[in-house]
Amino acid sequence: MKNILFLGFSLFSLSIFAQSFTLNGFYALELPVGNYEVVFTFGNSKVVRLNLDANKTLNIDLNEAIESLDEVSVQGIRVNADSPITHSNFSKEEISKRNLGQDIPILMNFLPNVVSTSDTGNGIGYTSIRVRGSDNSRVNVTINGIPYNDQESQGTFWVNLQDFASSTENIQLQRGVGTSTNGSGAFGASLNILTDKYNEEASVEINSSLGSFNTFRNNVKFSTGLLNEHFELSGRLSRISSDGYIDRASADLRSYFLQGNYKDDNTLIKAIAFGGNEVTYQSWFGIDRETLETDRTFNPAGMFTDENGNMQFYDNEVDNYSQNHYQLHWNQTYNENWSSNLGLNYTYGRGYFEQFVEDADLIFHQIGPVQVGDESITEGDLIRRRWLDNNYYVVNANLNYSNNELDFTAGAFYSLYDGDHFGEVIWSRFAGNGLIRDRYYDGNGTKNEFTTFAKATWRINNTWQVYGDLQGRFVTYETTGTNDQRNNFLVDESFDFFNPKFGLSYKADSNNQLYLSYGRAHREPRRQDFENGVNSAERLDDFELGWRYAKPKASINANIYYMHYEDQLVLTGALDDVGNPIRQTSGESYRLGLEIEGNFRINEKLIIQPNVAVSENKNQGFVANLNGQLVDLGNTTISYSPSFIAGNQISYSVMNNFQINVLSKYVGEQYMGNIDSDVSKLDAFFVNDLNLIYTIKNIPVFDEIVLTGLINNIFDEEFVSNGYFFTFDGDDGSGNITTFEGAGFYPQAGINVLFGASLRF
């Protein structure tokens, strides 16, 4: 018996070339009853597996298709469109629309339940991202499957990925626990980046942009194309500089990306080197509320009083850090069922931040006391550098088996981190007995991690599929020497984690899918937690219920999540003396929320992409030290967790070569601490950006020229997206112990502009 398979094929995108293409095709194949793999290829490829037992119609969208050989690098930690995991994809085309030098967190700001912020106020330099209220250190980030989070602080320092969006093929953001990944557990989300794929054709591209606050970005990209049908070499050199919106919050960022590929029908070997150097004037201290109202751009970093009593600022109060990454990936397909990936990585990071310290303790810095005549001097001005010097080694291997009914992946991961922490005084008003390069503190941290996992998706039939994922993660962390407070800092801890995940998907028809999933994650404490006396691990149980609706001109993704934490380390809102957030154990807490995102093609010219997130985020039975005693505050709001976040993108093609995008972001009010204090509250804000793209084609010399304009915060909203909160006990003047409260704020820029030109040969 033969059946008819009708194929509805659609590919539509609004590219950075400001053109809108719609390709619709309807095809019919007459095939015998049986199981089939239908492969759709249009540059990239997408495989659809089906059991043909009756006449069927398929609607195929290639927007999320990924080059199959490149995808092998990340298939162990990524999910596909039908997986019971809540996720969003961010394509190269979407990245390119606004890529004028701002960091990846700023470009991702309009994804669901995401809040981005910038210390400098204009998105260049130190930036960060929160997902579902979880901070930068709780979002697991990988690059080609290799962990990027710092192994000790667990933070993601995007400032060391200078202009990295220009070498990114696509990004997948999995909200919640997600699927098993490499590195520290995902407690808010996991974000994995796939770098540029190989190019078939030779090309050269020059990108330049300039804008407010003396911002400049220049890069050059090249590709040899496939030589002898097998080899390709490509690369990028970049420089970004900016004065920043905040006073003296300058950034000088230089980076490179170099990639060599070998490709045949079943093999892709990629050798990648990338890295750079950042020099940024420190702007991580924030300002108090009074200064926020009178002098929004004030920066206290480097401030001191000269001998005449005048306020001065040290001109080299900078963060100076270099990081180099070397990756080797061997992606292999053996036959229609089996494929594998082997990844190797070495990362070398080194650098310091420099500080002018007024009236410093000379004994603490191992300089004094200094004897001048009959006077013993114990305090004096000095300049110090606090150094990090670290090495990170990774081996990662995955094996995949796939057929019509089963998709199975197993893998193992091993990493070794070795990091030195030390401090040097490079100048002192009183020399004392110190020698050049003497270290006033010196310590080391090493971290070993071994992870193994196995995951499978079983397609029971065309309607049901089951997902299972088991991960074992084994971590050892040891420290020696002293920390930056010159205290002996000795840690020797091991953690063994078992992280199961399960899911179920139901496809009601060709347009509607429901899914249900459960996932568990654990996280070990980070270095600062150990310094603050916290050595317990955290646990998260994440439940997700979702619905996906997809038609050629409309799609909706909606999900409800419930995340229950035990021994969650929440941000107190306070910072240590170098701007690192301080955390404390909150016992039990939860996040309950609804997320909805849509994509609607109104007509051939207009697309609307809204998203909204509504949530409740609570500490349960939270206890705080207030007025000299422990107080049970009951259920309080988890810090940095707005209950309402919404975004929208409207894309309109005025003509084939001119596109206008309006991007909007609303973030509800949020507390910066966990005691629901009004002092710690950040006001809600609503910000709108305007993005213009104009493409010139069919001109001499160039393949095309793309002109891009980005007007940020077009209504000149005064807003603050980040800050910190602190409390301290003191005498209220009548002998009673009273808790005093304070806060710091990081104001963001008002209306500001970036303009760019891309010349493509």
Give the residue with greater pLDDT, 370 vs 596: 596
For residues 446-469, give the mean pLDDT: 95
pLDDT band at 65 (very low <50, low <70, confident <90, very high): very low
Q: Are 210 and 216 in contact (CB under 8 A)?
A: yes
All structural domains of the chain, each given as residue ranges with its CATH number in brackets, are 2-65 (no CATH), 89-760 (2.40.170.20)
Predicted confidence at residue 423, as pLDDT, reads 97
Is the pLDDT reported for residue 532 higher than 90?
A: no
Instruction: Report the C-alpha gap between 4 and 348 in whole angstroms.
Output: 57
Predicted confidence at residue 572, as pLDDT, reads 54
How do residues 633-657 score in pLDDT, each as one tens digit? 999 999 999 999 999 999 999 988 9
Residue type, 536: S
For residues 511-537, give the mean pLDDT: 92
Predicted confidence at residue 471, as pLDDT, reads 96
Instruction: Report the C-alpha gap between 115 and 686 in whole angstroms.
Output: 12
Q: Are 156 and 124 in contact (CB under 8 A)?
A: no
Question: Residues in the chain, how many?
Answer: 761
For residues 198-222, give the mean pLDDT: 95
Of 1-10, 150-159, 527-536, 687-696, the least confident: 1-10
Q: Which DSSP letter does residue 326 get?
A: E
pLDDT band at 22 (very low <50, low <70, confident <90, very high): very low
Is the pLDDT reported for residue 13 higher than 50?
A: no
Is the pLDDT reported for residue 140 higher than 90?
A: yes
Helices (H), 268-373: 289-294
Is the pLDDT reported for residue 208 higher than 60?
A: yes
Phi, psi of 673 (to 5 degrees): -130, -175
Of 7-11, 190-194, 227-231, the least confident: 7-11
The pTM assigned to this predicted structure is 0.89
Q: Which DSSP letter does residue 183 get?
A: S
Is the pLDDT reported for residue 109 higher than 60?
A: yes
Q: Are 508 and 143 in contact (CB under 8 A)?
A: no
Predicted confidence at residue 701, as pLDDT, reads 86
For residues 680-703, give the mean pLDDT: 94
Mean pLDDT of the chain: 89
Is the pLDDT reported for residue 384 higher than 60?
A: yes
Predicted confidence at residue 175, as pLDDT, reads 95
Is the pLDDT reported for residue 17 higher than 60?
A: no
Predicted confidence at residue 734, as pLDDT, reads 82
249: Cβ–Cβ under 8 A, 6 or more apart, which residues?
A: 119, 120, 121, 125, 243, 280, 281, 283, 299
Residue type, 746: Y
Give the residue with greater pLDDT, 713 vs 44: 713
Give counts: helices (H), strands (E), the chain.
Answer: 5, 47
Q: Degrees (nearest 5) of the Cα angle 506, 512, 513?
A: 30
The answer, yes or no, to whether the previous bond of 369 is cis (omega within 30 of 0) is: yes
For residues 722-727, give the mean pLDDT: 92
Is the pLDDT reported for residue 67 higher than 50?
A: no
Helices (H), 289-434: 289-294
Q: For residue 381, what are its two tokens?
A: 């001005």
Here the contacts of 514-517 (C-beta below 8 Å, separation 24 or greater) are 514/545, 514/546, 514/547, 514/548, 515/83, 515/84, 515/544, 515/545, 515/546, 515/547, 515/548, 516/84, 516/544, 516/545, 516/546, 517/84, 517/85, 517/86, 517/467, 517/542, 517/543, 517/544, 517/546
Query: What sign for the dihedral angle of Cα 126, 131, 133, 134?
Result: negative
